[in-house]
Structure 1
């Protein structure tokens, strides 16, 4: 489920990149969920041709995935196949991070690889023929097919580029065992995070890793080009006929950027900087070596722990870096002890060490929310929020329920943070109103209690929605500043130079702030 400001922000991104028509189709899918072609036409009140073309654009840029849903229907046990379209919210957000993705690749690869990736980010999906044609346009006629294939091989091996997913995966209805398992979990009050339809479709559309990162490409340019046009025609015909189960005559190889790997790299980078800020450079060097050593085995974003590593394996990786060459074996051991103490960044078991990604991300999330509470509400609110975050919940007596706030209610909290009871009461009420605290009234016999607590799941969701709101406002302001600059450029140079320079500085500052805000969004949404 996507928050309201998250939907508005995603629609703004699509509007900015593809125009109002495509954005209207995207907004319909964001607000109503997966829909058939006929229902999209009905809800958007657009013509079938406009909807088909908009869907083709969104599919081309990996923002929508088509899938076939099996439903009971017809005679006997016959299943009815229905083609639907689901929007990929995460991929829409990734469009803001293309500059970050390119910066990561520039650290390890040369300009031709960077240009190839830039083409994939710009056009969404490309065949080998299209990559070759684009390279000849940008770099000249000296570019050969083998050079393009070699660059593609490098990026695919590093998992920065992958084959495109299955065009229309078949999604089976949940089995009786799955339904029974969910009912048992509900009865036993076990909290199970339900898999969303978007996640199910994405999982079904991914081929196996062997095929997904297979670098075997067709060297025959003419064949590749022919099958490409056949594939593009079939994709349009599929929309034309609503993909009623038609078979694929020829399958082409299309490539796209693997955003999952880029986000994983950004998460690792954020974790390393978190360690550096909390501990020191030596601990960050050892932690970075652990990330590198476990990188070949740990390839998922939201993994709890990395693969276990021995001290020797960690030391071998440490001395590969320039900073690590100055560290002795005992020095590395001391840093590992530091990393495994409170706050815990590394888990220890049987003389092996593994990175506790879950705990690191949670610590960073706590710091981010506490920082905002401190800046927005002041130190008293910061102390209250931090106290309730750590202690879970506090119960206070309430003798006069007709009074909105009483001194007895906040006695324990005020004593714990050493502030006046009236100030604590006002701040508790303010945080509760703004959604950062939860309050429950409890009755035990003749005594009534108020329970104050921080529900992190709800607070984090509220905080993420606020960040989407802030990102939307910043993005709209950046667009406004760009329009202002374009108008000033039409004026004479001498009369507007000072104002033009000021607008450029303002725009750069806002774009930088938007990128920093996106870092915080990734911390709560992607990591």
Structure 2
């Protein structure tokens, strides 16, 4: 133990450095914003660079590292021309990776306040670009080919009006056929909440002093907590109201209707058009010029539900998974945010009715369902209603993920030690850990210090003075610092995998461009080898992205 620095100074310096890196955003825009981790920013920059080029990535990384900035400040920090920055911002806004907003700056004594436009990088939306294949798979399972094609167009272009969607569909089709097919596909996508109206292009953030009374009322009335970060506040201000978010109103006036319409009355088509225009006017919409985009939140809801069900299936049994799946299906329309802690209370009869809709649930009796709900740890109400703690399921899945990392990286003994400390959730002395985890006392210190050095454990040193000075080392798993560290390592790993995929494809670029009939002999072996490597790497990327969603999105 000689040469080991005091834990208090070591741990404080580490936590301090994390704090400094996490609060490096500017105060422009009326508040601070905690940027993503080091490798999270590098990963996001790589995504933008591979999709839109280095110049766009440079602007994006500048915003991610520094927080919201004005156009002038972006030019200053990136040392790019004003026109280059403007074009890069237009690309990022079109692809839903940057949100503009206006903020009012109070003037000095006798001076009027001024308003400026600032730009905020949306880290989550950038990372979601790598999940587009998962989004398409969900849509393909539930809707038809026309919906999938329209959905893919929105993924490609970021934002489209109905008119642009129809123009894309006109190739090889008559105008009327393309219009009808596009409108029907858009209706299906909106009804399934796979697409939504784009947010306000430039919402206004009120000065903090004006928002204080609203925050106080919100707290006293125990309503939803007011957004705290600039990103949350901007997105909340930009999001359309629920009645408008998925609203579809088509102009159904036809040429035949117009011919039947006289000056003294409205025809059927004109009446519908008049009603639609009036409705659009009330909602602040301008009909076909409404911009549409993919509703990422809907997919995150589904992925979170799937992760909860799969975790329960592996940890408990199939019956518990069926019961949980039924509860989530019933309550999904009532969830207002992805990270919902608890489901709404549901009666046993309502749950059983949903369970019986699936083939796996038809063999379940009411008693079997009750036993499964008890196994899930559902909270039972007086009228035999049940609600499930979804936050606890996610936390258990996170624990298992980190435990598997420790097992693969440090071995079985380290896994037992880490699992013991994780479940204890308190400081334990070295000797007690050795006795409880059945690890030799000669090896326990080496394992503990290795885990501590790699930031998987927190250590405190206690010195007891008396006739003989005694030193104790206490250990625990501090999830508030460990989880962000694990997530940053995942970003590092997924970045390396993406770079490896890009390297393999670039190395065999000539081979990929060869016609199929010329790939014979050694060339065919090289092609098969590339295909195997690519499938392996992309499969690893999908699994790693699932783990990232578990820690970041869920």
**Is structure 2 residue 57 aligned with structure 1 residue 57?**
no
2:519 to 489, 493, 496: 493
User: Residue 23 of structure 1 corresponds to which residue in structure 2?
Assistant: 57
Query: Is residue 360 from structure 1 mapped to residue 383 from structure 2 by the alignment?
Result: no
Residue matched to 1:480: 503
Partners of 1:304 and 1:83 lie apart in 2 by 35
CA distance in 2, matches of 1:305, 1:61: 33
Matches within 5 A, 1:304-453: 304-340=341-377, 346-350=378-382, 351-396=384-429, 410-446=430-466, 447-453=470-476
Aligned mate of 2:477, from 447, 451, 454: 454
Q: Equivalents in 1 of 2:62, 2:250: separation in Å?
A: 37
Q: How many residues align?
A: 475
The answer to whether residue 548 in structure 2 is matched with residue 521 in structure 1 is yes
* Partner residue of 1:196 out of 223, 229, 248: 229
Matched, 1:157 2:191: yes
1:261-340 correspondence runs (5 A): 261-340=298-377
The CA RMSD measured in Å over matched residues stands at 2.5
Deviation string 1:81-108 (CA, Å, 9 cap, x unpaired) is 1110000000000000011111111221
The CA distance in 2 between the partners of 1:219 and 1:52, in whole Å, is 38
| Equivalent pair of 1:61/1:124 in contact (CA under 8 Å) | yes
Take 2:243 and 2:285, find their aligned partners in 1: how far apart are those partners? Answer: 23
Q: 1:285 to 1:138 in 2, by over 3 A?
A: farther
1:4-153 correspondence runs (5 A): 4-73=38-107, 76=110, 78-137=112-171, 143-153=177-187
Provide the rounded CA distance (Å) in 2 between the counterparts of 1:354 and 1:370: 28
Superposed displacement of residue 74, structure 1: 5.6
Contact 2:146/2:181 (<8 A) preserved: no
Closer/same/farther in 2, CA of residues 382 and 364 from structure 1, 3 Å limit:
same
Q: Distance in 2 between matches of 1:213 and 1:6?
A: 32
Q: Secondary structure at the match of 1:295?
A: helix
Deviation string, structure 1 residues 16-36 (Cα, Å, up to 9, x no partner): 100111001001111111100
- Counterpart position of 2:242: 209
Q: 2:471, 2:169 → 1: CA distance?
A: 73
Instruction: Determine the C-alpha separation between the residues in 2 that align with 1:459 and 1:21.
Output: 34
* Cα distance in structure 2, aligned partners of 1:490 and 1:503: 13
Q: TM-score, normalised by structure 2?
A: 0.81
CA distance in 2, matches of 1:11, 1:271: 30
Range moving further from structure 2, 422-431 or 438-447: 438-447
Q: Which residue of 1 aligns with 2:272?
A: none
User: What is the CA distance between 1:448 and its match in structure 2?
Assistant: 4.1
**Farther off after superposition, 202-211 or 481-490:** 481-490
Aligned to 1:505, the other structure's residue is in SS state helix
Q: Note the C-alpha offset of 1:181.
A: 8.3
Of residues 526, 534, 550 in structure 2, which corresponds to 1:507? 534
Residues 122 and 181 of structure 1, relative CA distance in 2, 3 Å threshold: closer
Unaligned runs of 5+ in 1: 186-191, 222-247, 341-345, 397-409
> TM-score, with normalisation over the residues of structure 1?
0.85
Q: Which shifted more, 123-132 or 205-214?
A: 205-214
Moved more, 269-278 or 491-500: 491-500
Q: Deviations over 1:112-170 (max 9, x none)?
A: 11111111111100000111111223767673323322221121122111000000000
Q: What CA distance in whole angstroms lies between the structure 2 residues aligned with 1:169 and 1:453? A: 45
Counterpart mapping for 1:244-263 below 5 A: 252-263=289-300
Deviation per CA, 1:196-226, whole angstroms, max 9, x where unpaired?
Answer: 21111111111111111212245689xxxxx
Pair 176,119 (structure 1): closer, same or farther in 2 beyond 3 Å: closer
- The structural deviation recorded for 1:352 is 1.1
Aligned match for 2:487, one of 456, 464, 476: 464
- Structure 1 residue matching 2:427: 3-state secondary structure: strand
Q: 1:392 to 1:263 in 2, by over 3 A?
A: same
C-alpha deviation, 1:49, in angstroms:
0.7
CA distance in structure 2 between the aligned counterparts of 1:330 and 1:144, rounded to whole angstroms: 53
